[in-house]
C-alpha cells in the first residue's frame, strides 16, 4: 500500500517553534511543518546538521526554516530564541517541545549534578518554552502546544531512571497546561513515540537483539519512522484536531 499524507490548510503561514528540530524526529518535524507551508523556526545544538537541513528544505520547497543555534539548558537563551522567532516570523501559534537526550545511566552513578543536567535538557525547557509562547498564542486567540513523552517508562526500559522521570513529567505538564490555558483556546497534548528508527537509535541501540525485541513486541510489521511521529504532531497542530486536548497520542505501531 502506498502512503499519502495530508495537507492541512490551517497550517499555511502558521508560525511553528520546534526544539531539537535539527536531527532525528525533530528534523522530520521541521520538514513536515515546512511542507505544510508553515513558517518554521527551530533551536538545536547540532549546528552542522541543522544548517544542512535548512539548505535541503530550502532547495526542496523554496521555504527556508529559521535555525537558531541554542542550548535549551540555557532558559534565557531559549526564551530569547522564541522572542527572536516572533520578531522574524510573527507570533508563535504552535510549540513543539521535542528536544531530549536519552543517554543511559545507572542508578548508582547518578550524581546531583547529572540529575540537574538531565532535567535541564529533558524537562525544564518544556515549561519555560510554554511560558514564553503563551502571550503570543493569546494574541492569536489560540494555539497548540505539543510535548514529547516516551513509551520508555511504560515499557520499563532499563538504565534510564532520570530520563524516564522527565518523560513521565511531560504528561503532567500537558494536562496542567491544558487545564490552565483552555480558556484562551490554547490546546496541549502529548505525542508518545514508540521505538523510532532515527539515525541515533540505529547507531546506538537497534542491534540485532534490539530488532528481535521489536519483532517480538510490535504488532505491526515494519518500523516506526520519524515521519510517522511527525504526521501526528502536524495533525495536533492543525485546526483539524480542534477538540483534541490534554491527551496522549501514541505512535508505536502497537506494542505488547
Ligand X SMILES: NC(=O)c1ccc[n+]([C@@H]2O[C@H](COP(=O)([O-])OP(=O)(O)OC[C@H]3O[C@@H](n4cnc5c(N)ncnc54)[C@H](O)[C@@H]3O)[C@@H](O)[C@H]2O)c1
Q: Can you give the binding site for ligand X, defined by CB under 6 A?
A: 20, 22-26, 43-46, 71-73, 98-102, 121, 148, 150-152, 167, 193, 195-196, 198, 200-201
Bridge partners for 249 per DSSP: 191
Active-site choice (163, 195, 235, 249)? 163
Which is nearer to ligand X, 181 or 251 (by Cβ)?
A: 251
Other beta carbons within 10 angstroms of residue 221's beta carbon come to 8
Which is nearer to ligand X, 60 or 199 (by Cβ)?
A: 199
Query: From the CB of 63, what's the least distance to ligand X, in Å?
Result: 20
Query: From the CB of 78, what's the least distance to ligand X, in Å?
Result: 8
Query: From the CB of 252, what's the least distance to ligand X, in Å?
Result: 8
| Residues ≥6 apart with Cβ < 8 Å to 136 | 82, 86, 91, 92, 93, 143
Query: From the CB of 82, what's the least distance to ligand X, in Å?
Result: 13
Query: From the CB of 224, what's the least distance to ligand X, in Å?
Result: 7
Which is nearer to ligand X, 99 or 236 (by Cβ)?
A: 99
Which is nearer to ligand X, 46 or 75 (by Cβ)?
A: 46
10 Å CB burial of residue 51 (0-12, 13-18, 19+) is middle
Residue 163 is among the residues annotated as catalytic for this protein: yes
Query: From the CB of 102, what's the least distance to ligand X, in Å?
Result: 6
Which is nearer to ligand X, 10 or 165 (by Cβ)?
A: 165
Bridge partners for 29 per DSSP: none
Alpha carbons 10 and 243: distance in angstroms, whole number: 15
Alpha carbons 148 and 198: distance in angstroms, whole number: 15
User: Which among 131, 147, 110, 116 is positioned nearest to 180, based on CA atoms?
Assistant: 131
Which is nearer to ligand X, 195 or 235 (by Cβ)?
A: 195
Residues classed as catalytic: 163
Amino acid at each position: 500500500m502506498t502512503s499519502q499524507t495530508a495537507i492541512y490548510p490551517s497550517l499555511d503561514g502558521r508560525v511553528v517553534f520546534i526544539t531539537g528540530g535539527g536531527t532525528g524526529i525533530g528534523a522530520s518535524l521541521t520538514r513536515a511543518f515546512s511542507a505544510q507551508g508553515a513558517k518554521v523556526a527551530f533551536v538545536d545544538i547540532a549546528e552542522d546538521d541543522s544548517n544542512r537541513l535548512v539548505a535541503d528544505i530550502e532547495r526542496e520547497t523554496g521555504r527556508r526554516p529559521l535555525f537558531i543555534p541554542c542550548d535549551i539548558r540555557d532558559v534565557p537563551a531559549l526564551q530569547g530564541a522564541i522572542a527572536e522567532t516572533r520578531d522574524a516570523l510573527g507570533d508563535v501559534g504552535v510549540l513543539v517541545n521535542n528536544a531530549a537526550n536519552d543517554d543511559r545511566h545507572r542508578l548508582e552513578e547518578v550524581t546531583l549534578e547529572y540529575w540537574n543536567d538531565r532535567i535541564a535538557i529533558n524537562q525544564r525547557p518544556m515549561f519555560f518554552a510554554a511560558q514564553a509562547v503563551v502571550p503570543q498564542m493569546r494574541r492569536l486567540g489560540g494555539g497548540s502546544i505539543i510535548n514529547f513523552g516516551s513509551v520508555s517508562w511504560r515499557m520499563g526500559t532499563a538504565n534510564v531512571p532520570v530520563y524516564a522521570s522527565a518523560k513521565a513529567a511531560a504528561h503532567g505538564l500537558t494536562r496542567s497546561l491544558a487545564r490552565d490555558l483552555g480558556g484562551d483556546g490554547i490546546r496541549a497534548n502529548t505525542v508518545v513515540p514508540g521505538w523510532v528508527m532515527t539515525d541515533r537509535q540505529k547507531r546506538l541501540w537497534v542491534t540485532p537483539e534490539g530488532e528481535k525485541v521489536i519483532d517480538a513486541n510490535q504488532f505491526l510489521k515494519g518500523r516506526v519512522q520519524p515521519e510517522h511521529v511527525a504526521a501526528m504532531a502536524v495533525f495536533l497542530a492543525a485546526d483539524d484536531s480542534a477538540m483534541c486536548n490534554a491527551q496522549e497520542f501514541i505512535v508505536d505501531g502497537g506494542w505488547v
